[in-house]
Amino acid sequence: MPRSPRYRRPTLDSAVAAYEKRIAPLLAPEPADPSGRRRVAQENDTAVSAALGIEPIAVATEDSTVSVDEHPDVRVRVYWPGSVPAPRGAGLPILVYFYGGGFTIAGIDWVSWDARFRQRARDAGIIIVAADYSHAPEQRFPAQPEQCWSAFEWAYAHAEELGGSRERLAVGGASSGGDLAAAVTLMNRDRENRPIAMQVLENPALDLTIGHADMRGISAGMPGVIVRTAGQALVRQYVGDDRALARHPYASPLLADSHEGLPPALILTSELDPLRGDGEAYARALSAADVPVTAIRFIGQTHGSLGSTGYVPAADAAHRILVGELRTLHDRGRA
C-alpha cells in the first residue's frame, strides 16, 4: 500500500490555529507609521493578555538606568525569583535578556513580556536583568547592541549586590532580541571576555541580509518574496539604507568571520518560522567552531507561538526546556 504524503508537508499545529482564532477578534489593525504601530501593538498586547487572564505573578523587581557611551541610556529591570530581592552575595544565576519585537515594537513594559520574565525568574530560581533597548527607526544600529552590551556589563558589575554570581551569568533573547544576545556574546569575546556560562536564543534573527531565511514552512498563500520584502523593510528601519551595515557581525552574528570562543548555546526554532533557517544555521556555525550547542525545532509552530504558554502545549514544553536549562546554572562553580 503506498504511503500517504499527507503528513510530509509542514502543517500548523491545531492548538496554534485555535489560539490564533481566539485572539484574532481582539487585534486592532496596526497603522503603517512606526510610532502608531508601536502604540497599537502594545494596546493589542494588553487586550489579549486581559482576555486570556495573563497576570504577572508577584516577584520583586527594580528598575535602573544604565548609561551608554555615545548612545541613549538604557533602562533595565531586575526580576528576582521571590517576593523580596535576593540578599547580597546569594550567588544566584543571572540571565541578561533582550525582548523581541522586530527592533521596532515591544518592551519590558508589555504585559506579555513582563509576565514571561516574572514566570521564568520564579520557575528557574534565577535573577533576570531585562534591557529595554531603543526602538528603530528612531534609534538605529549600532545603538541597540551597544545598549545591550552596556546592560550586560552593568549586570556583571552589580552581580554580587543583586544577589547573583558572575560565575553563573547567561544571556538570552527572542527574535530581534536573539540577534542582540548573540551580538553581545561576540562583543564580549572581542572586548572583555567575561565568563558567560550560556546563551539562550529563541527563534532568533541572526542574518539581517535575509540570506538564511527558510521559506519552506510558509504556506502557498504567503509567497516567500512577500516574507523577504517584509523582513527587508524591518531591516532598513534598523540599519538604514547602508546595506553593508546589515553584514556587520554585531548586526548579523551568523556572518561573523569566527564563532570560536563563544558560550554554549541552546537554540529553539519553529518549523513554520522563516527565521528557523537563521537559528539552525547558527547552530551549525557554532558546532563547527567547537562550541557546545543544542538546537531544537518545534514542529507546527510559528514565529510567535512558543510564547503562548497555557494555550499551546509546545509552548509549555519550550518553557520547561528553558527553565530546566537555566536551572543548571545553579550548579556552576560548585565543587
- pLDDT for residue 40: 98
User: Which position among 135, 212, 259, 303 bears the catalytic label?
Assistant: 303
- pLDDT for residue 218: 66
Name the phi and psi angles at 75, rounded to 5: -85, 140
Q: What is the rounded distance in angstroms from the CA atom of residue 125 to the CA atom of residue 122?
A: 5
DSSP state letter for 94? E
- pLDDT for residue 3: 65
Query: Measured on CA atoms in the order 305, 308, 314, 318, is the torsion positive or negative?
Result: positive
Q: What is the DSSP string of 186-225?
A: HHHHHHT-----EEEEES----TT-TT---TTS-TTS-HH
Q: What is the rounded distance in angstroms from the CA atom of residue 56 to the CA atom of residue 35?
A: 26
Q: What is the rounded distance in angstroms from the CA atom of residue 270 to the CA atom of residue 279?
A: 9
Closest CA to 303 of 315, 317, 295, 285: 315
Q: What is the rounded distance in angstroms from the CA atom of residue 328 to the CA atom of residue 292?
A: 15
User: Which position among 45, 132, 214, 273 bears the catalytic label?
Assistant: 273
Residues 6+ away with beta carbon under 8 Å from 23: 48, 51, 52
Q: What is the DSSP string of 10-41?
A: ----HHHHHHHHHHGGGPPPPPSSHHHHHHHH
The C-alpha cell that represents 47 in the structure block: 487586550
What parts of the chain have a pLDDT lower than 70? 1-5, 217-227, 334-335
Residues 6+ away with beta carbon under 8 Å from 96: 128, 129, 131, 148, 151, 152, 155, 169, 170, 171, 172, 181, 184
pLDDT digits (tens, 9 = 90+) for 70-94: 999 999 999 999 999 999 999 999 9
Q: What is the rounded distance in angstroms from the CA atom of residue 79 to the CA atom of residue 126?
A: 8
252 has catalytic annotation: no
- pLDDT for residue 262: 98
Q: By the 8 A CB rule, do 81 and 90 touch?
A: no
Cα 241 → chain centroid: 25
User: Which position among 150, 165, 175, 176 bears the catalytic label?
Assistant: 175
14 has catalytic annotation: no
- pLDDT for residue 335: 44
Q: What is the 3-state secondary structure (H, E, C) of 50-91?
A: HHCCCCCCCCCEEEEEEEECCEEEEEEEEECCCCCCCCCCCC
- pLDDT for residue 333: 72
Residues 6+ away with beta carbon under 8 Å from 310: 52, 54, 316
Using the structure block, give the residue that is written with the C-alpha cell 546569594: 90
pLDDT digits (tens, 9 = 90+) for 109-153: 999 999 999 999 999 999 999 999 999 999 999 999 999 999 999
Classify 91 in phi/psi space as left (phi over 0), alpha (psi -120 to 50) or beta.
left
Q: What is the rounded distance in angstroms from the CA atom of residue 95 to the CA atom of residue 266?
A: 13
Enumerate helices (H) and strands (E) in the chain, giving the number of each.
8, 8
Closest CA to 237 of 84, 112, 135: 135
303 has catalytic annotation: yes
Q: What is the rounded distance in angstroms from the CA atom of residue 188 to the CA atom of residue 186?
A: 5
Is beta strand 293-298 parallel, antiparallel or unpaired with respect to 71-79?
unpaired
Q: What is the rounded distance in angstroms from the CA atom of residue 70 to the CA atom of residue 117?
A: 29
